Amino acid sequence: MDNLKAALRILKRRFGKSALTTPEAKIVYASDVTKEKRLPAVIVFPENTDDVVFVVKTAVRYGIPVTARGAGSGMSGGAVPVENGIVISLARMTKIITVDEANNIALVEPGVITAKLQEAAAKVGLFYPPDPSSYKFCTIGGNIAENAGGLRCLKYGVTADYVLGLEFVDFRGEVIRTGVFCTEAEEPDLTLMLCGSEGMLGIVVKAALKLIPAPLAFRTLSAEFASTIGAAKTVTEILNNGILPCIMEFIDRRTLEAITRFVKIDLTGETQSVLLIEFDETEELNREWSEEVLRICQRYNSVLIKTAESFAEREDLWKLRRAISPSLTRIASGKINEDVSVPRGRIADLVDFIERLGMEIGKSIPVYGHAGDGNLHVNFLFDKDDAQDTAIALRGAEKLMREVVRLEGTITGEHGVGLAKKTFLPMQFDEKSLKLHREIKDSFDAKDILNPDKMLPEKAGLRQ
């Protein structure tokens, strides 16, 4: 406790009123979307790299854990602080330092909102593809920490595919440069080690991001199906025919019913699922692929197919998709959103299992997600004040994870492990692999200062 008091004095001396210790501030920064709460001792708001270095050196000196965070939009508990730890909010490091048109590179600070970068790139005819559903408020630093995916990941990949180099602060408070920021060619490139590391290996203070030429044209379709299995099989058939949409989203009937409570949409009585499909090639190729997709949808008994005829209609479809998560949150006090992913040939198997699981546990389980790359969001809704209802949802989530691993999938497609899934990690990795994960953490953070309680389960062979 004496160490904590000493660290607080030093941080308050440096940051003044920007070092928050009020009960209200602690509550605000105690959680992310998971609602798991742990009260920090202090929240600081660095404005530059030197500030971050100062905080980390102070934390190391007094042995106090540090959790960095962006917008707190994560769904795995990755930004939930350690009790009585230090929270570093990167919300004030918001500079888009440069958008280099000649080399198709953007240099940004970690607090830049993803949508702001997309807008800056678009102004010069360039495109930043990563597109999390929370793009209007999530930050680049958080996207890198969780290796965020998004709607366009089928065609364009995930955040790591666009990170060319990083500057990050390590556990000693030293600034490490990777990728294009390296000055020596023989230095190992640690860039990909940081992507998806959930703030456990270092705190990103600058990123070099790849931009690409903007898409030429768009064509967006909505296909309704009389069964969820029909839609799932359609996804596999489309991809097996060499057709590559930039987006292919699956939404089941339960999810659609949740949305209709808050957003007006017209559905046929037969509709059990919807695919939202978008192409962004040339107008000619978009039309050719769309016509082939229509034929495939009809083979799998699609009951209604619509093509967006204007920009406004296209935007309405994506507003519908982005309304899903908040709509589900509003119809139940508790929600577990599992972002599992399976090989695309097993999507129908997964959807069928979820149907049977819902009947087994007596719960409606809404499902939606990035079906094109096998990443589905499976939602267990429950009354958080009812212990029995909560236990049923948790058991359902565990059964889902076991089935996903059996289907040769992964327990997280884009949300990360954090606190929410660390107990599931041994389903995916054997003890030897988990020990290697811990050794990597130790090599980057020997004092276990940076976000220390995330991802890695405590069990035999690991740190106790």
Domain 219-406 in CATH 3.40.50.2300? The answer is no
- C-alpha span between 390 and 129 (Å, rounded): 37
Look at residue 34 in the predicted model and tell me its pLDDT: 86
Residue 243 contacts residue 293 (beta carbons within 8 Å): yes
- Is 157 in a helix, a strand, or coil? coil
Task: Tell me the residue ranges of DSSP E strands in 155-296.
Answer: 163-169, 175-177, 203-210, 212-213, 219-225, 247-252, 273-279
Domain at 96-213: CATH architecture: 2-Layer Sandwich (3.30)
- C-alpha span between 28 and 248 (Å, rounded): 35
For the chain, the domains span 2-89, 96-213, 219-406
Tokens coding 292: 């082939």
Residue 90 contacts residue 212 (beta carbons within 8 Å): no
- C-alpha span between 438 and 460 (Å, rounded): 12
Residue 203 contacts residue 52 (beta carbons within 8 Å): yes
Q: Please state whether 212 falls in left (phi above 0), alpha (psi between -120 and 50) or beta.
A: beta
Q: What angle do CA 178, 179, 181 make, to 5 degrees?
A: 70
Could you identify the residue written with the tokens 């959680």? 31
Look at residue 459 in the predicted model and tell me its pLDDT: 46
- C-alpha span between 101 and 213 (Å, rounded): 10
CA–CA distances in Å: residue 406 to residues 173, 283, 350, 373, 399: 42, 41, 10, 18, 11
User: Do the two domains 2-89 and 219-406 of this chain adopt the same fold?
Assistant: no
Paired sense of beta strands 96-100 and 175-177, if any: unpaired
Look at residue 179 in the predicted model and tell me its pLDDT: 95
pTM of the model: 0.93
Look at residue 269 in the predicted model and tell me its pLDDT: 74
Residue 280 contacts residue 287 (beta carbons within 8 Å): no
Distant-in-sequence contacts of 97-103, Cβ < 8 A, 24+ apart: 97/206, 99/123, 99/124, 99/126, 99/211, 101/125, 101/126
Look at residue 187 in the predicted model and tell me its pLDDT: 73
Paired sense of beta strands 203-210 and 163-169, if any: antiparallel
Domain at 2-89: CATH architecture: 2-Layer Sandwich (3.30)
- C-alpha span between 418 and 252 (Å, rounded): 27
Q: Please state whether 416 falls in left (phi above 0), alpha (psi between -120 and 50) or beta.
A: left
Look at residue 186 in the predicted model and tell me its pLDDT: 62
Per-residue pLDDT of the chain (464 residues; tens, 9 = 90+): 689 999 999 999 999 999 999 999 999 999 998 888 999 999 999 999 999 999 999 999 999 999 999 999 999 999 999 999 999 999 999 999 999 999 999 999 999 999 999 999 999 999 999 999 899 999 999 999 999 999 999 999 999 999 999 999 999 999 999 999 987 766 789 999 999 999 999 999 999 999 999 998 999 999 999 999 999 999 999 999 999 999 999 999 999 888 887 777 777 778 999 999 999 999 999 999 999 999 999 999 899 999 998 888 888 888 888 788 888 888 888 889 999 999 988 999 999 999 999 999 999 899 999 998 899 999 999 999 999 999 999 999 999 999 999 999 999 999 999 999 999 999 999 999 999 999 999 999 999 999 999 999 874 333 33
